[in-house]
Amino acid sequence: MDIYISEFFSEPGGWDEARISIGSSLAFFGIYASFELLYNSGSLPLLVLGGATALSGIAELLPKNRRRSAIVLRVTAIVLLVALIATALRSLLS
């Protein structure tokens, strides 16, 4: 797996790059809603995953001249996911 930092700081990619994130965000929110409505037991990690993927998709849908805003949204999405991992590790170790 290669990590390209230049892609992280690039300008927004448009709908072609955002559709996967938007679709997965809708899927995470839909799964959360179905579990909440049917079993009254929605999971907070599903909301975090949905929010992080939504932020990533929104970052790609911004106009090309909003590069800094896209970077902020991408960093926020990564922070949410890292916080989710840290919370899971903390509960696993305690």
pLDDT tens-place values along the chain, 94 residues long: 677 777 767 888 889 889 999 999 999 999 999 999 999 887 899 999 999 999 999 999 999 888 899 999 999 999 999 999 999 999 999 8
CA distance readout (Å), 53 to 26, 37, 44, 56, 91: 9, 22, 14, 5, 23
User: What is residue 1's predicted lDDT score, i.e. its pLDDT?
Assistant: 64
Q: What is the pTM of this model?
A: 0.87
| CA-angle at 49, arms to 61 and 89, nearest 5° | 140
Q: Cα–Cα distance between 5 and 26 in angstroms, integer?
A: 27
